[in-house]
Amino acid sequence: MEKFVSALADNVYDICLGNDKTWIEEYKSSSTIIGNKVQIIQAGEVAGEGVVAFIDDNCFLHVTGADGKETVLSTGEVSIRKNYD
């Protein structure tokens, strides 16, 4: 995580312009949600659930449902809560 924060601080301008993606691998490898079962909450209601498959290079979260359907989520679209069943 320290490497991620350092890269972010050093390259904020290039990152904001989309010119520097060196930080993305550190971000993805630091994620604790990959492989976990989650519920997708939209407008306060459970809209689906599945297992977090991966985070792509654009920071979208890919969730695979029990039916095999993949849902791609971005920041601000949904609230994701870990399912503790």
User: Which residue(s) pair with 52 in the sheet?
Assistant: 63
* Domain that residue 12 falls in: 1-30
Other beta carbons within 10 Å of 38:
19
| CB-neighbour burial class of residue 63 (10 A; exposed 0-12, middle 13-18, buried 19+) | buried
Q: Clarify whether residues 43 and 84 are in a common domain.
A: yes
Q: What is the pLDDT of residue 75?
A: 66
Structure tokens at 26: 């550190």
Per-residue pLDDT of the chain (85 residues; tens, 9 = 90+): 677 677 666 666 566 666 666 777 877 888 888 888 888 877 778 888 899 999 988 888 999 999 999 999 886 555 666 555 5
Q: Clarify whether residues 25 and 64 are in a common domain.
A: no
Q: Clarify whether residues 66 and 53 are in a common domain.
A: yes
CA distance 10 to 4: 10
The total domain count for the chain is: 2
User: Which residue(s) pair with 80 in the sheet?
Assistant: 40
pTM exceeds 0.75: no
CATH of the domain at 57: 2.30.30.100
Q: Clarify whether residues 23 and 38 are in a common domain.
A: no
Q: Clarify whether residues 22 and 61 are in a common domain.
A: no
